[in-house]
Each structure stands twice: as structure tokens, then as C-alpha cells.
């Protein structure tokens, strides 16, 4: 008597997912065709003792395409599936219900081994099995637009089949793109800026991850630690430009070239996003006012290496010139522009100020006016550094505020 078709439980956990996923067969999945069945050449082990199948109907349903009778098949091992998933382990250990004679057909098995049909997307099943069998070949490029669609499928199935180890593995991949440490954020941002230099606007839009999908996936699969970085990035991306001239501004920062699906935020997240963004911009304005010479004079007088008994703070004029120039650069609105763009990305703007202060000597060698002294500069740099750290450490609170 042939073994019967194994039917996994349906829990509906893969329905209604907010993240878009490709439903097409991956071009990397080289296949051989046998009638209506498509065997995976990547995941087809001759010594396997179970075939996992996905109906094309499952994959294509809702896509608007006509539903075919094609099946995608993967030949694997019960022991490997059971080792990863307690759901499959229990299923394999339980005696399968006997079918009546009418069901005694070849659909219950495939080439002599049991056939387990899954009600999941082909690409998701393929990625899940690749992670089990060939994890090195399942690559995730750094800060790539394809990462979230790929991991969302694996997370859906990991949740459904209780494969906790994979959920943590995927969370680690997402944390690399959306880190909890400021240093890692800075490295990622520098990497993106470097890549963007050689890209057109269209390439930028399609190359980098979209932050709202990251926010949504963090909620759905319990990965809250990636949310602050995603919200911060979202806060610096324009919902839309009302004028192309704004988009073409020469002073545009790298983040403003990026793309976000703001409209896909939940109502709560949209409110949190607006609150957090407003706090960030207010905070930036206030911090810069704090750096104005009359607000900082008392401290800088004691830090200034040029201070003498006679001259209390000789760097005052040079410092004031620097502050005025920086204020003009960051917050003024020249005629041809529409937004004080540098206000929108405080972490990047403050980092640029630190860079300017650090490299002042090299830049001003030929200048007749002396820069303000190293003691003053180091103190201002430490204030800006602390402000950046303060902003970063408060993102979670600022973007999660709900009245
Ligand atoms: Zn000084």
C-alpha cells in the first residue's frame, strides 16, 4: 500500500502579509521539466525520502494570471525537516490518516516516496529549504532592496512551521542593515553614499531597502530592535517633492534621493513617525542655538588653550564666524531651493560638522584668518558627538510616543 499524502496544518499565518513578494520562479532555480511538474535542480536529493510540493495555483493565485496545474517539487529528507521544525516532526511521527480506495492514486507519492503538498509560495518554500540545505548559497547583499522581500517569505514559513532558529538568523541579517549601534549606522550610511555616487535616481530608488517594509516586518515577526533605525531613515525621506526643482537641488543630501512607501504605514506608525520627525527637527534647531557663542562662552573660556589673564576668550570672533557660516549653510533657504534640507538628517549634518572641525587646519592653511584653537574645537566636537549619541539613543522613545 502506498504511503499517503502528508498534509501540513493550515494556520493562515502567511495570508494578508503587508510586504510585497515576488511570485515568479527565481532565475537561479534551474529546473528540469517532467509533464506539469518542475523538479528543483537546487534541492533534489536522490537519497531523499520525501518530496515537498507546491502547486503553481498556490503561487499564482491572486496574481491575476490564469492558474496552471503545474507543481514545483523538492526532494528532501524527513529527518532534516523534522530536525528544524517541531510541526513537521510531530506530523511525521503521527500515523497518517488512511485514504479510501478512491484516493489511492499516485498523487499521494512521487517516484516512490511520500509527497507533501504545501499551501505556500514556491519561492518562499525554495528559500526556506535553501536555508536548511545550502545556507551559504542563500546570500543577502548588504543594504539591498531585495532583502526584505526575500526574508519575509522565510519568516512567514518559519513562524508557520515554528522554525525559531531561522527567525533569529533572519533577524540578525536585518540588524546588520538596521543596526542598534550608531557606529554601525554611520558605516552603513557611508557605504550607501559611496554607492550612490555612480547611480542615477532610478537606480537609487530600486537598489536600496525601503524603510516602511522594514517597519512592518519588525511588527509582524517581533523584531522591534530594527525599528528605530528604520524610522530615522524614514524621517529624512520626502513623502513626495512638490516641485522637480526641489529634487534637483545641488545641496540635496543622499537621503533625500531615497524612496519610501509612507502610505503603507499603519495609522499608529504614521502618527509615531510624525511625532518623532518633529522632535528630531526641533531638537536640531535647539542644539544649534545652544552652540551660539553667548550660550557656550562660559564653557569655552575654560577650555580655550589661548586664554590668558588678559584675554579671556581670544577665539570668540573666529568661533562666531564659524557658527554663523555653519548656520547659514544648514538652515538658510537660498532662492532656488525649497527646503532647508540639512535640517532633515541631523545625524548626517552633525557628522559633517565634526568632519569640518576636525580637518580645519588642512583647509585653512592659506586663510588669513586664524581658526579657533584646538581646545575650543575639541570641546565643540565633543558636544556635537554627545548630541549625536543622544539623538540615536532616544530614537526608540521619540518614534514610539503614543498619546
Ligand atoms: Zn580657543
CA of 301 to the centre of ligand 1 (A): 7
Predicted confidence (pLDDT) at residue 254 exceeds the cutoff of 80: no
Over residues 120-144, the pLDDT tens digits come to 999 999 999 999 999 999 889 999 9
Region for 62 from its dihedrals, namely left if φ exceeds 0, alpha if ψ lies in -120 to 50, beta otherwise: left
Ligand 1 centroid from CA 307, angstroms? 7
Asked whether residue 261 is assigned to any structural domain, the reply reads no
Domain-embedded: residue 138: no
Please report which confidence band the pLDDT of residue 301 belongs to, taking 50, 70 and 90 as the band edges.
confident
Averaged confidence pLDDT in the chain: 81
Q: Is the pLDDT reported for residue 256 higher than 80? A: no
Grid coordinates representing 288? 544649534
Give the number of residues written for the chain: 403
**For the stretch 14-23, what's the b/e string if a residue is b when 16 or more beta carbons lie within 10 angstroms of its beta carbon?**
beeebbeeeb
Quickly state the pLDDT bin for 338 (edges 50, 70, 90).
low
Find the 319 Cα to ligand 1 centroid distance in Å. 8
Centre of ligand 1 from the C-alpha of residue 376, in Å: 4
Distance in Å, CA 371 to ligand 1 centroid: 9
Does residue 96 lie in a domain region?
yes
- Determine the pLDDT at residue 18: 37
Among 8, 26, 40, smallest CA distance to 133 is for: 40
Number of domains in the chain: 2
| Range of the structural domain that residue 322 is part of | 282-399
**In 134-264, which residue ranges form alpha helices assigned H by DSSP?**
147-160, 164-177, 182-196, 201-207, 211-220, 227-236, 244-247
- Predicted confidence (pLDDT) per residue in 204-216, tens digit: 888 999 999 999 9
Per-residue pLDDT at 13 exceeds 50:
no
* pLDDT confidence of residue 59: 54
- 284: CA distance to ligand 1 center in Å? 24
What sign does the CA torsion over 73, 79, 80, 86 have?
positive
Residue 265 domain flag? no
Determine the average pLDDT of the residues in 272-295: 92
Question: Which is higher by pLDDT, 56 or 348?
Answer: 348
29, three cell numbers: 532555480
Q: Measure 318 CA to ligand 1 centroid, in angstroms.
A: 9
Position 25 pLDDT exceeds 50: no
**Left (φ > 0), alpha (ψ -120 to 50) or beta: where does 40 sit?**
beta
pLDDT, residue 27, reads 40
CA of 297 relative to ligand 1 center, distance in Å: 10
Is it the case that residue 3 has pLDDT exceeding 70?
no
Q: What's the Cα-to-Cα distance from 306 to each of 242, 309, 349, 375, rounded to whole Å?
A: 50, 10, 28, 8
Tell me the percentage of the chain whose pLDDT exceeds 70.
Answer: 76
Among residues 84, 110, 129, which one ends one of the domains?
129
Ligand 1 centroid–CA 378 distance in Å is: 10
CA of 265 to the centre of ligand 1 (A): 48
Is residue 234 one of the residues assigned to a domain?
no
Quote the cell numbers at residue 379.
570641546
In this predicted structure, the answer to whether residue 328 has a pLDDT above a threshold of 90 is no
For range 62-91, the mean pLDDT: 84
Higher pLDDT, 200 or 79: 79
Mean pLDDT across the stretch 139-152?
Answer: 92
- Residue 48 included in any domain: yes
Last residue of a domain, one of 108, 129, 150: 129
The answer to whether the pTM exceeds 0.95 is no
What is the average pLDDT across 6-13? Answer: 51
Out of 67, 95, 129, pick the residue that ends a domain. 129
| % of the chain at pLDDT higher than 90 | 48
CA of 305 to the centre of ligand 1 (A): 5
61 Cβ contact list (under 8 Å, min separation 6)? 67
Position 326 scores a pLDDT of 84
97 or 45, which is more confident? 45
**Mean pLDDT for the stretch of residues 90-102:** 68
Q: How confident is the model at residue 219 (pLDDT cuts 50, 70, 90)?
A: very high
Is residue 374 in a domain? yes
Three-state DSSP at 331 gives: helix
Cα(377) to centroid of ligand 1, in Å?
7
- Answer with the residue of higher pLDDT: 380 or 402: 380
Ligand 1 centroid to Cα of residue 130, in Å, is 61
CA dihedral for 134, 92, 86, 115, sign (positive or negative): positive
> Residue 330: inside a domain, yes or no?
yes
Amino acid at each position: 500500500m502506498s504511503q499517503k499524502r502528508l498534509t501540513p496544518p493550515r494556520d493562515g499565518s502567511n495570508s494578508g502579509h503587508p510586504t510585497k513578494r515576488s511570485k515568479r520562479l527565481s532565475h537561479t532555480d534551474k529546473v528540469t521539466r517532467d509533464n506539469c511538474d518542475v523538479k528543483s535542480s537546487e534541492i533534489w536529493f536522490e537519497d531523499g525520502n520525501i518530496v515537498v510540493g507546491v502547486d503553481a495555483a498556490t503561487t499564482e493565485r491572486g496574481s491575476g494570471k490564469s492558474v496552471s496545474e503545474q507543481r514545483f517539487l523538492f526532494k528532501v529528507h524527513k529527518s532534516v525537516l523534522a530536525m528544524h521544525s517541531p510541526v513537521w516532526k510531530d506530523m511525521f511521527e503521527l500515523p497518517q490518516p488512511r485514504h479510501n480506495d478512491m484516493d489511492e492514486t499516485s498523487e499521494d507519492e512521487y517516484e516512490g516516496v511520500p509527497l507533501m503538498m504545501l499551501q505556500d509560495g514556491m519561492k518562499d518554500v525554495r528559500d526556506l529549504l535553501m536555508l536548511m540545505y545550502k545556507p551559504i548559497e542563500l546570500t543577502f547583499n548588504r543594504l539591498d532592496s531585495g532583502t526584505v522581500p526575500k526574508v519575509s517569505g522565510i519568516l512567514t514559513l518559519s513562524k508557520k512551521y515554528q522554525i525559531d532558529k531561522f527567525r533569529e538568523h533572519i533577524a540578525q541579517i536585518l540588524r546588520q542593515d538596521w543596526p542598534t549601534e550608531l557606529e554601525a549606522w554611520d558605516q552603513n550610511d557611508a557605504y550607501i553614499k559611496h554607492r550612490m555616487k555612480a547611480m542615477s535616481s532610478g537606480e537609487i530608488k530600486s537598489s536600496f531597502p525601503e524603510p516602511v517594509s522594514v517597519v512592518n516586518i519588525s511588527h509582524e515577526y517581533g523584531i522591534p530592535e530594527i525599528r528605530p533605525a528604520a524610522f530615522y531613515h524614514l524621517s529624512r525621506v520626502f513623502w513626495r517633492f512638490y516641485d522637480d526643482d526641489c529634487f534637483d537641488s545641488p545641496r540635496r543630501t543622499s537621503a533625500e534621493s531615497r524612496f519610501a512607501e509612507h502610505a503603507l504605514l499603519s495609522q499608529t506608525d504614521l502618527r509615531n513617525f510624525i511625532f518623532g520627525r518633529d522632535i528630531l527637527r526641533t531638537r536640531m534647531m535647539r542644539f544649534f542655538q545652544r552652540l551660539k557663542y553667548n550660550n557656550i562662552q562660559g564653557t569655552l573660556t575654560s577650555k580655550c588653550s589661548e586664554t590668558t589673564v588678559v584675554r579671556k576668550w581670544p577665539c570668540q570672533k573666529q568661533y562666531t564666524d564659524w557658527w554663523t557660516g555653519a548656520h547659514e549653510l544648514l538652515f538658510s533657504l537660498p532662492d532656488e531651493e525649497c527646503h532647508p534640507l540639512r535640517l532633515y538628517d541631523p545625524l548626517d549634518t552633525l557628522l559633517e560638522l565634526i568632519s569640518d572641525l576636525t580637518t580645519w587646519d588642512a583647509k585653512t592653511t592659506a586663510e588669513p584668518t586664524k581658526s579657533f584653537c584646538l581646545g575650543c574645537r575639541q570641546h565643540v566636537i565633543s558636544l556635537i558627538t554627545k548630541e549625536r549619541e543622544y539623538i540615536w539613543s532616544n530614537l526608540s522613545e521619540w518614534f514610539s510616543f503614543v498619546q
